[in-house]
Structure 1
Amino acid sequence: MTDRFMKMLELSQQGFYCSQILLLIGLEAQGKNIPEVVRAMSGLVGGMGFCGKTCGALTGGACLIGLYAGKGTPEEMEDSRLNEMVKELVEWFEEENLAPYGGIACFDILENNPANRMMRCPQLVLQTLSKVEEILTAGGYDLSGQTAY
């Protein structure tokens, strides 16, 4: 098992879910602890509050891109490539998950069976994290900080 998988397992055992885990890993990479951000991510878990809608790994991944490339203060400028980076993530996620699961909704991925969560979600979160890191790195972001080079 990889260190990343072990970290994800640890966070999961602490009661965190897909979107929260992605942001916790991103915040940790930046040396930050911002419980309010993690708390806000709660609304995305399980397909938006366990409603089974858009997968929390995808929405969490989009938020992780935003953590690096988005606007956070009145003085900051959003990276002009933000929407393209998120679009790349969404297109990749669709390519990876439409065929095997028939959609990108949590309901589709889990095939309306919560027991599938333990088998499918960890892999989706890890794959999404890797793709987000790939997108951000290609965009010139140092994953230990917020600024592009």
Structure 2
Amino acid sequence: MTDAFIKLVELSQAGFYCSQILLIIGLEAQGKENPDIVRAMSGLNGGIGFCGKTCGVLTGGACLIGLYAGKGVAEEMEDSRLNDMIREFAGWFEEKVYSQYGGIDCHTILENDPMNRMTRCPQLVLDALAKVEEILAANGYSLSGRLEY
């Protein structure tokens, strides 16, 4: 088992879901805690408030990229590559998930069976985390902060 998988299991057992788990991992990699962000991410869980809409792994992954490259205060500039990074992630996610499940919404991914959450979601979260790390690294970031060239 990888460290990421162990962390995912711990967070899941603590009652967190896909989008929250992705952000918690990103925040912890930066040595931060932010319960307000984690709380806000709960709106994306289960396909936007467990409505079964767009998968929280997709929206959470986009938010994780934004955590690193987005604008957080008035004096800060958003990384000009932010939307390209998110588009790359979304394209990867759509290709991967459509080919496996036929859609990117939670109802389709889970085939309307909440029990599939236990087998499908953890791997999607781990795969998304790896892809986000890859995209960030290609753009000069690491989960623990800005990479030096």
Matched residues, percent identical?
72
Unaligned runs of 5+ in 1: none
The residue number in structure 1 matching 2:128 is 128
Q: Secondary structure in 2 aligned to 1:96? A: helix
Q: Distance in 2 between matches of 1:100 and 1:137?
A: 26
Unaligned runs of 5+ in 2: none
The residue number in structure 2 matching 1:68 is 68
Q: Distance in 2 between matches of 1:43 and 1:143?
A: 23
Q: Distance in 2 between matches of 1:11 and 1:4?
A: 10
1:65-88: CA deviation from partner (whole Å, max 9, x where unpaired): 000000000000000000000000
The residue number in structure 1 matching 2:100 is 100
Q: Distance in 2 between matches of 1:140 and 1:54?
A: 28
- Backbone CA RMSD of aligned residues: 0.8
Q: Distance in 2 between matches of 1:53 and 1:98?
A: 14
Q: Secondary structure in 1 aligned to 2:141? A: coil
Q: Structure 1 runs of 4+ off > 2 angstroms?
A: none
Q: Secondary structure in 1 aligned to 2:31? A: coil
Q: Distance in 2 between matches of 1:98 and 1:114?
A: 19
1:92-139: CA deviation from partner (whole Å, max 9, x where unpaired): 001101122110001110011101000100000000000000000000
The residue number in structure 2 matching 1:15 is 15
Q: CA deviation at 1:148?
A: 5.6
Q: Distance in 1 between matches of 2:22 and 2:133?
A: 11
> In 1, are the aligned partners of 2:11 and 2:21 still within 8 Å (CA)?
yes
> In 1, are the aligned partners of 2:133 and 2:142 still within 8 Å (CA)?
no
TM-score, length of structure 2 as denominator length: 0.97
The residue number in structure 2 matching 1:117 is 117
Q: Give the aligned length.
A: 148
Q: Distance in 2 between matches of 1:148 and 1:64?
A: 16
TM-score, length of structure 1 as denominator length: 0.97
The residue number in structure 2 matching 1:30 is 30
